[in-house]
A and B are shown apart, each in its own frame.
Chain A
Amino acid sequence: MFEAVLSNGSTLKKIFEGIKDLCTDVNFDVSSEGIKLQAMDSSHVSLVSLELHTDVFEQFRCDRDSMTLGLNMKSVTQIFKICGNDDSVTMRAEDEGETLEFTFEKGEDRVSTFELKLMDIDSEHLGIPDTEYQCNVKLPCSEYQRICRDMAGFGDNMTIDCQKGGVTFSVDGEVGKGKIFLKHQPNVEEKHKVIVTVKEGVELDFALRYLNNFAKAAPLSDHVQLGLNSDTPLSVRFDIEDKATLGSLKFFLAPKIKE
């Protein structure tokens, strides 16, 4: 049997909101260590990787070595509309069951339950090695969200140029070109901090459609971390409630290459 209780149900709601437009069906891989999910978008350009450690849950129980729960994202997000922002969520599935039961509770006054039919999903797992990035940028989620949204008005691609001292986001579109520079700002108020760590400068192009999609996970944490390498996909990482110990929602995006 699998049973997990999360007192802050909105965390799960935010996770599903963050990935629903990239993947239609996903597998929840449950084990005694927590919940993992890996899914690619249909064009194999981006990948979602979720890790929820048991620390994020008030109660966590998985009797088997592993269980795979296939979820349709549209149905899950529909179900989470039932979940109020202050509700706790309990997920429950029998070992050979065909459903995942969600219970949303606010105190004892209001209890909603929904049994979701599970799906059998063929998923391709990619091996993603632990990568040391040449450049790491930590910036406020609100800033990331704003940059991606504003830049999408001018073009389809955004160049991220990370150098010692700061990071430049630029777009070159039909109406003209623009750029936004964020200075390495370690000594300001936490919520405004921008940390740019550079071993070697990197400049890469990415599709704004995907970067904007990742921004939908912004409510999950205060800061987002970008990892850039000249020869591997971009990593966009949101730590759950800004605590890596609880887990993270990561997105990987293949860069564009100039002809």
Chain B
Amino acid sequence: TPIQNNLDEFYTLV
């Protein structure tokens, strides 16, 4: 089963 990635992996908090 694929694992769900999360947006924090791609974008940084501003």
Q: Which residues of A contact B (CB under 8 A)?
A: 40, 43-47, 124-128, 157, 205, 207, 231-233, 252, 254-259
Closest to B5 in A: A254
Total B residues in contact with A, Cβ cutoff 8 Å: 14
Q: Most chain-A Cβ atoms within 10 A of its Cβ — which of B6, B7, B8?
A: B7
B2, B4, B12: the one contacting A127 at CB < 8 Å is B12
C-alpha gap A157/B5 in the complex (Å): 13
A259 CB contacts on chain B under 8 angstroms: 1-3
A126, A254, A257: the one contacting B14 at CB < 8 Å is A126
C-alpha gap A113/B8 in the complex (Å): 40
- Additional pairs, 20, CB under 8 Å, beyond known A254-B6, A254-B9: A40-B7, A45-B7, A46-B7, A47-B7, A124-B13, A125-B13, A125-B14, A126-B7, A126-B11, A126-B13, A127-B12, A157-B2, A207-B4, A233-B10, A254-B4, A254-B5, A256-B5, A257-B5, A259-B2, A259-B3
C-alpha gap A232/B12 in the complex (Å): 13
Closest to A229 in B: B10
C-alpha gap A124/B1 in the complex (Å): 30
B12 CB contacts on chain A under 8 angstroms: 126-127
C-alpha gap A231/B7 in the complex (Å): 12
C-alpha gap A254/B5 in the complex (Å): 6
Q: Most chain-A Cβ atoms within 10 A of its Cβ — which of B3, B6, B8, B10?
A: B10
C-alpha gap A51/B10 in the complex (Å): 21
Instruction: Check B2 against A232 for contact (C-beta < 8 Å).
Output: no
Instruction: Check B13 against A127 for contact (C-beta < 8 Å).
Output: yes
Closest to B13 in A: A124
Instruction: Check B11 against A127 for contact (C-beta < 8 Å).
Output: yes
A157 CB contacts on chain B under 8 angstroms: 2
Shortest 8 CB-CB distances between A and B: which pairs? A256-B2, A254-B5, A127-B14, A126-B11, A44-B6, A258-B2, A125-B14, A205-B2
Closest to A40 in B: B7
Q: How far is the CB of B4 from chain A (nearest CB, A)?
A: 5
- A125-B13, A126-B11, A126-B13 known; A43 vs B2 contact (CB < 8 Å): no
C-alpha gap A193/B3 in the complex (Å): 33
Q: How far is the CB of B8 from chain A (nearest CB, A)?
A: 6
